[in-house]
């Protein structure tokens, strides 16, 4: 599957910039670039220079100078791909970028496919498959938390844990297979007590990794938060206060927000996707009813629900505390698994007596008083959100699973291991649970790429950007 041709691609973002980086990889990459490079300091030969060095000169097409560049040389096997790599740092003009790309393509260099540099790194043993996938996660990370998860995986923390489990299981599996070869002699090479302890340990580790996926998924993709409540209680104002911009239209007219408005911010390193929804009420307006229907759809998608109510309306008897409590209980009953945060808005417009009454009516610590318009209490809200994010595992540098493919493979491995455990406990014959051992090894190998297919690799690397 490893191609011996030379590939090229723009490694930086397309478009105009101060500089651009064009990357080549392949056995002949240094030789090819050297044929079109003229050093500023004598007749330097790139094929003879030391690895991991940088050289100033011009890229030349016959007698025409295309650009003054810096050339970085990385010689195999000590490069990202494990092949000879050349990186051309040129000026960021789109014209210059294309001229250099076209020059080398005309000389037989092939334009790289999406993720092909990282694919070559995997195929050449520079990283395993889970580390390769972490590269894509690192590029797309949009918060400190998602960056940390990707970095941990790319450094091999997850791979090492899986590899250790697989090695231990493989050692016992070899002894089990040996027993099958001598089945007629009724001998046991594998210590059943030690094997049972190992299977129990593996089962526990797999369960911990599987359970970490929920956290990993939200850290990677952001925590979806739905802001709900009656119309005109300040949901859009709260969203604007959190985002620090006028994202949502604010009006005193009920039903102004008719569609869900979404935006993302990072709070204490964690990304939150806030969704300002249409107000929940009974209305004859056809368009507004569509918005209310979408509100419930967004609550379904959210991990955290913020219920917002208006203290001023409560103070002016335009709504009642009993009605608010009933609405909150409805949301709790409809979405029992979702975290619910209750916010009393417009605290700057009411007396302390009303605040005390409201606080006593809710038997929960997840009640916050704030003024979205005056930005009072916003820090209390962000601190609460940070607490609810539960980053304990991240802070303790524990392995966190954030990839759905890994999650599926871990689940399959866990199912097989539990079957092995049942077989040992029931004292069934070795050949019966040997199949489950092989299955567990297979699924663990899928994660790191020790067991793989071309289709799988194609699907994974197709999601990479060109040039990586």
Q: What is the pLDDT of residue 189?
A: 53
- CA proximity to 312, closest of 249, 373, 246, 366: 373
Average pLDDT over residues 201-219: 83
- Greatest CA separation found in the chain? 89
Q: What is the pLDDT of residue 257?
A: 40
Average pLDDT over residues 289-309: 74
Q: What is the mean pLDDT of the chain?
A: 81
In 10 A of CB 416, how many CB atoms? 22
Architecture of domain 131-212+400-449: Up-down Bundle (1.20)
Does domain 7-127 fall under CATH 3.30.1360.120? My reply is: yes
High-pLDDT (> 70) share of the chain, %: 83
Q: How far is CA 105 from CA 4, 9, 33, in A?
A: 16, 10, 11
Q: What is the pLDDT of residue 21?
A: 96
pTM, rounded to two decimals? 0.66
* Structural domain boundaries in the chain: 7-127, 131-212+400-449, 225-392
Confidence of residue 3 (pLDDT cuts 50, 70, 90): low
pLDDT digits (tens, 9 = 90+) for 105-143: 999 999 998 889 999 999 898 988 888 888 878 877 777
Total length of the chain = 468
> Before 77, cis peptide (omega within 30)?
yes
pLDDT digits (tens, 9 = 90+) for 6-64: 999 999 988 888 999 999 999 999 999 999 999 998 889 999 999 999 999 999 998 89
**Cα 202 from Cα 206, distance rounded (Å):** 6
Average pLDDT over residues 187-200: 71
Structural contact between residues 110 and 19, judged by C-beta atoms closer than 8 angstroms: no
* Alpha helices (runs of H) in 212-320, residue ranges in sequence order: 213-221, 235-243, 286-301, 311-315
pLDDT digits (tens, 9 = 90+) for 317-333: 888 888 888 888 888 88
Average pLDDT over residues 144-155: 76
pLDDT digits (tens, 9 = 90+) for 253-284: 344 443 445 777 888 778 888 887 655 544 45
225-392: which CATH topology? Rossmann fold (3.40.50)
Which H/E stretch holds residue 67? Answer: strand 64-74
Q: Is the dihedral of CA 77, 78, 79, 81 positive or negative?
A: positive
Structural contact between residues 126 and 457, judged by C-beta atoms closer than 8 angstroms: no
Q: What is the pLDDT of residue 107?
A: 93
């Amino acid at each position: 599957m490893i191609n011996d041709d030379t590939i090229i691609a723009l490694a930086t973002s397309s478009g105009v910039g101060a500089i651009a980086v064009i990357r080549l990889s392949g056995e002949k990459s240094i030789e090819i670039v050297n044929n079109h490079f003229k050093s500023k300091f004598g007749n330097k030969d790139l094929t003879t220079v030391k690895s991991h060095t940088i050289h100033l000169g011009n890229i030349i097409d016959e007698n025409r100078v295309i650009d003054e560049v810096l050339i970085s040389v990385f010689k195999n096997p000590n490069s990202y791909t494990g092949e000879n790599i050349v990186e051309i740092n040129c000026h960021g003009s789109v014209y210059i970028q294309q001229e250099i790309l076209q020059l080398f393509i005309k000389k037989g260099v092939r334009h790289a496919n999406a993720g092909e540099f990282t694919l070559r790194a995997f195929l050449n043993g520079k990283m395993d498959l889970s580390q390769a996938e972490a590269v894509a996660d690192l590029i797309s990370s949009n918060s400190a938390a998602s960056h940390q998860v990707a970095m941990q995986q790319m450094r091999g923390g997850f791979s090492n844990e899986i590899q250790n489990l697989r090695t231990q299981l493989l050692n016992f599996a070899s002894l089990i297979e040996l027993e099958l070869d001598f089945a007629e002699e009724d001998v046991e090479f594998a210590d059943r007590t030690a094997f049972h302890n190992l299977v129990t340990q593996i089962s526990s580790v797999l369960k911990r990794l599987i359970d970490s996926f929920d956290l990993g998924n939200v850290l990677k993709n952001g925590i979806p938060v739905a802001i709900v409540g009656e119309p005109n209680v300040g949901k859009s104002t709260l969203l604007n206060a959190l985002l620090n911009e006028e994202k949502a239209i604010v009006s005193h007219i009920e039903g102004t927000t008719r569609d869900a408005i979404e935006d993302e911010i990072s709070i204490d390193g964690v990304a939150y996707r806030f969704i300002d929804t249409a107000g929940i009420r009974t209305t004859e307006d056809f368009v507004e009813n569509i918005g209310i229907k979408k509100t419930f759809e967004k609550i379904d998608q959210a991990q955290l629900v913020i219920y917002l109510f208006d203290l001023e309306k409560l103070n002016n008897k335009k709504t009642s505390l009993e009605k608010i409590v009933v609405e909150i209980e409805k949301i709790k009953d409809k979405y029992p698994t979702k975290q619910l945060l209750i916010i009393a808005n417009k605290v700057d417009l009411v007396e302390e007596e009303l605040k005390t009454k409201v606080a006593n009516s809710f038997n929960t610590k997840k009640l916050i008083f704030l003024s979205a318009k005056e930005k009072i209490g916003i820090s209390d809200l962000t601190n609460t959100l940070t607490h609810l994010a539960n980053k304990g595992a991240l802070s303790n540098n524990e392995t966190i699973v954030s990839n759905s493919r890994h999650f599926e493979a871990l689940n399959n491995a866990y199912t097989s291991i539990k079957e092995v455990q049942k077989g040992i406990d029931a004292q069934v014959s070795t050949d019966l649970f040997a199949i489950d051992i092989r299955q567990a090894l297979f699924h663990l190998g899928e994660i790191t790429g020790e067991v793989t297919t071309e289709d799988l690799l194609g699907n994974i690397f197709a999601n990479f950007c060109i040039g990586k």
